[in-house]
Amino acid sequence: MSRLVAVSNRVAVPRSGKSPGGLAVGLLAAFQHQGGLWFGWSGKTVDDTPGVARVSTTGNVRVATIDLNKDDFAGYYAGFSNNSLWPLLHFMPGYFSYSRSDHDAYWRVNRLFAERLVPLLEADDLIWVHDYQLFPLGQALRDVGVDRPLGFFLHVPFPGFNVLKVLPRYEELLRAISAYDVVGVQTEPDAKALRECYEQPEIGGEVFDDGRVRAFGRTFRVAAFPIGIDVEQCRTLSVENLNRPQVQRFEVSLRNRKLIIGVDRLDYSKGLELRFRAYECLLENYPHLRGHVAFMQIAPPTRSEVAAYMTIRNELEQTAGNINGRFAEVDWVPIRYLNRAYDRSLLMALFRLAGVGLVTPIRDGMNLVAKEYVASQDPRDPGVLVLSKLAGAAIELSVGAVLVNPYDREGVAEGLERAISMPLAERRERHRAMIQVLERNDIHAWCRRFLDALGRVSGVGAKPSAMHSR
């Protein structure tokens, strides 16, 4: 069996008290079956040229990390990855900015990743690169002689060509993506958008009926591999943690009110201010619910070095304060806004207590919180998922979620009221339909489907001169 080598911006082996993100959960599931090597940034920056990778072992996973030069990191991460790529990939060019120095740093870091990874590779490795920070890594690996099957998975959306071409030198990015053998995205609309980019006259590529693309002298596959969750783990955690003192105190504090819960990173793509205003609209239009519902939004900060994120935090705090000041009573606060992270086991228990899961990003590749909320419910008395039509998860969960447009605050308020008042029989039927989808497309199925596709790549052999044994 080929060894799996996964590469991501950060290596996020979970530690006590930390909640792993979707990428980490997915890779840990892949490693659970076959072990392998996980390579990425250590989280540390240095003033000079970074040294070789440091290697350690956690269970059946070898973890290799490198430091990054602090100036290169600033341009690569806060600059190009998060000020240029992130807003475009989320269809939000109003947040876009670009500089050539950031672009150059982005490519330098990807070349450094390739140079430090090559000495750790073995002749039969399957290499699986993850997310937008590492688009060029495949090309960088090809440039230093790696001729093994290379896979890439994008965890965020991919925009149409008219959005992508806002990026200077977008052709360079498309060329870099073509260096992979299998390019995975979250949904079929994402796959279609990427394929259509290669069909543009200035690119001159060709798309075949089976999803393969021919461009820049290479043929590669572009396909949707929607990421899932570990359904049974979510279910187990939600039950096992109900007796935690923190959870029990919280349940008592609700005083039998219907809990609406949202859990999101503090990011403009999550539409949190729109969500708060939709909840305000619910209280305006359905006054009988005042004092009988409670909305808890957990929004841990992220990318604090990016100025736009500080602005979002200030706006949300002001909005939550305005709504609470307008509607609060001495024994009821409408919004509990928590700007910190909580461990995953606690979140699963909170999901189980919540009668409504409110997931309304204005653009999201998938959104695993929506899936985790559904999996954590008591099937005898399940809550209702209110889900943005603009999240990738809406494609799979349309069978049972109440779908809303996050820009329509009255529509979201109506969706919330519908969820709050939904009869038990309908809630059970909707939950049953969604669980069937989640179990069929769980995290293990996602790993298996992608790695099977990568393993079927033929005609690619390792060049002994470019590969080194461990």
Q: Out of 230, 267, 364, 442, which one is annotated catalytic? A: 364
Among residues 74, 70, 76, 78, the alpha carbon closest in space to that of 95 is found at 78
- Helix then strand count (H, E) for the chain reads 18, 16
Q: Reduced to 3 states, what is the DSSP secondary structure of residue 466?
A: helix
Q: Is 442 a catalytic residue?
A: no
Q: Out of 155, 264, 431, 442, which one is annotated catalytic? A: 155
**Residue 391 has what DSSP assignment?**
B
Identify each DSSP E strand in 171-239 by its residue range. Answer: 182-185, 206-207, 212-215, 218-224
Which residue type, as a one-letter code, is found at position 370? A
Which residue type, as a one-letter code, is found at position 407? Y
Residues in the chain: 470
Bridge partner list, 259:
294
Neighbours of 238 (CB within 10 A): 23
**Residue 52 has what DSSP assignment?**
P
Cα(151)–Cα(223) distance, integer angstroms: 11
Cβ atoms of 424 and 382 within 8 Å: the answer is: no
Q: In what order do the strands lie in the sheet with 54-58?
A: 54-58, 61-69, 36-46, 4-10, 126-130, 150-153, 182-185, 218-224, 212-215, 206-207
| Residue 128 phi, psi (nearest 5) | -125, 110
Q: Which residues contact 190 (CB under 8 A, 6 or more apart)?
A: 154, 157, 158, 224, 365, 392
Angle between helices 22-34 and 443-455 (to 10 degrees): 70
Q: Is 125 a catalytic residue?
A: no
Among residues 444, 448, 441, 456, the alpha carbon closest in space to that of 182 is found at 456
Neighbours of 378 (CB within 10 A): 14
356, two tokens:
């409504």
Cα(62)–Cα(35) distance, integer angstroms: 8
Bridge partner list, 292:
none
In which element (H, E) is residue 150 found?
strand 150-153
142, two tokens:
């090809």
In which element (H, E) is residue 128 found?
strand 126-130
Q: Which residues contact 344 (CB under 8 A, 6 or more apart)?
A: 19, 20, 237
Cα(62)–Cα(314) distance, integer angstroms: 41
Catalytic residues: 155, 364
